[in-house]
Amino acid sequence: MEVSLDKVNRTAAAIGVRNLTFAYTREPVLQDVSFTLQKGAVGLLGPNGSGKTTLLRILLGHLPLQPGQVEVLGHDMARQPRLARARLGWMPERGGIIPGLSGVALVSYLGELSGMPARDAMQRAHEVLDYVGLGEARYRKCEDYSQGMRQRLKLAQSLVHDPEWIFLDEPTSGLDPKGRAALLKLVQDLARNKGLGVILSTHLLPDVEAVCGEILVLRAGRLLAQRSVGARGRAEHQVFEVEGFGDEASFRARLTAEGAEVTQDGRWCLVTVKGGEGAALILRAARETSYGLRRLRRQTLSLSDIFYELVEE
């Protein structure tokens, strides 16, 4: 599938990836991945080893580009990764601290490395540590932090230079339910209220459901789907259980002609309607083909339904 980045409005498309293939050795980790993202909260989903972390590393310019093109915030990552990185925040999954430094020293140090003047970096370090709830522990050595505190510290360091996008790699791993909920609330606040773009890479579907409005699903290095989730997703992608009597063949043909997908599921057929027309389209098709409807019920698909449907396909 050939996607042209030129056709996308470059100012609006914050992140664009075209025909990206990447291999550490021989076996490709990513194969012909293409997508564009607008600013918002995006969940990067996939089973272990599907290429999520590799994709994030490529978006950060950590790995050399093999076939493919990646643009982040208008910068070509093959030529200008440093310019893009000044506007990105990164929260790695493992480690991600520098032993020997206190929380505030670590965050201000990384702020300075992002191009902030020393005094600004220190002031901002205090602000973001307060924001993530580490205000009281800011002078403790970061290797003495608990797992939950480390995750918050990593979030703080990714925010210190006020990036436009933050990439979070498994941010809730190793957290207890309370800590997980608190961290997700922070991420949700950043994405919804503070105008930051967020890519949340995880295999925990409830995390994505809580935060994201869009998902990218990877499996074995291939992008299976890019779609909206949550209220917007439900409006764009509706599935109905339909059962009736009459000329079913004409009814199905009519629905297919209107762009709906029809599949048989036991006694009734499943009609997937994309767009926002929903039940009105089915009712119109039934009226026009004189098909009597006995059952018309909308299915509520959770993110896990969508995910497993995609992955198992």
Partner 1 sequence: MPVYERGYKHWERSERRASPPWWVIARRGIAEPLKRRGFLLLIVLSWSPAVIKGGILYFKYKFGQLADLAGGDWTAIDAGGIYSFLKWQKYFVLILLAIVGTRLIAKDRLENGLALYFARPLTLKDYVAGKMLIILFYFFMVTLFPLYALSLFGYLVTSGQAGLDMLLLTPLRATVFCGLAGASMSLILLALSAMGLRAVFITVGWVLLYLGSEQIANILVLIEGGWMRVIDFPAQYFQAGAFLFGARTDPDFSPWVSALLLAAYTAAACWVLRRRIRPVEVVS
Site residues for partner 1 per CB under 8 A? 53, 57, 60, 62-63, 82-83, 85-86, 88-90, 92-100, 109-110, 112-120, 124, 127-128, 130-133, 135, 143, 157-159, 161-162, 182, 185-186, 189-190, 194
Our separate counts of H helices and E strands in the chain read 11, 14
Q: Which residue, 143 or 305, has its beta carbon nearer to partner 1?
A: 143
Q: How far is the CB of 61 from partner 1 (least distance, A)?
A: 9
Q: How far is the CB of 131 from partner 1 (least distance, A)?
A: 5
Which distant-in-sequence residues (6+ apart) come within 8 Å of 32 by Cβ?
1, 19, 20, 21, 222
Q: Which residue, 141 or 284, has its beta carbon nearer to partner 1?
A: 141
Q: How far is the CB of 237 from partner 1 (least distance, A)?
A: 32
Are 192 and 41 in contact by the 8 Å Cβ rule? The answer is yes
Q: Which residue, 185 or 297, has its beta carbon nearer to partner 1?
A: 185
Q: Which residue, 47 or 195, has its beta carbon nearer to partner 1?
A: 195
Q: Which residue, 3 or 97, has its beta carbon nearer to partner 1?
A: 97
Distance between CA atoms of residues 106 and 228, nearest Å: 37
Residues 180-193, buried b or exposed e (16+ Cβ, 10 A)? bebbbebbeebbee
Q: Which residue, 190 or 229, has its beta carbon nearer to partner 1?
A: 190
The residue type found at 237 is H
Specify the DSSP element, H or E, that contains 153: helix 147-159
Partners of 244 in the beta sheet? Answer: 293
Q: How far is the CB of 20 from partner 1 (least distance, A)?
A: 17
Work out whether the CA dihedral 258, 272, 276, 289 comes out positive or negative: positive
Q: How far is the CB of 201 from partner 1 (least distance, A)?
A: 13
Q: How far is the CB of 276 from partner 1 (least distance, A)?
A: 33
197-202 and 165-169 as β-strands: parallel, antiparallel, unpaired? parallel
Work out whether the CA dihedral 134, 138, 140, 145 comes out positive or negative: positive
Q: How far is the CB of 102 from partner 1 (least distance, A)?
A: 12
Q: Which residue, 160 or 269, has its beta carbon nearer to partner 1?
A: 160
Partners of 270 in the beta sheet? Answer: 241, 263
Q: How far is the CB of 16 from partner 1 (least distance, A)?
A: 20
Residue 70: alpha-carbon gap to chain centroid: 17
Lookup: tokens for 62: 């950590």
Are 192 and 161 in contact by the 8 Å Cβ rule? The answer is no
95 backbone φψ class: left, alpha, beta (φ>0; ψ -120 to 50): left
Q: Which residue, 182 or 279, has its beta carbon nearer to partner 1?
A: 182
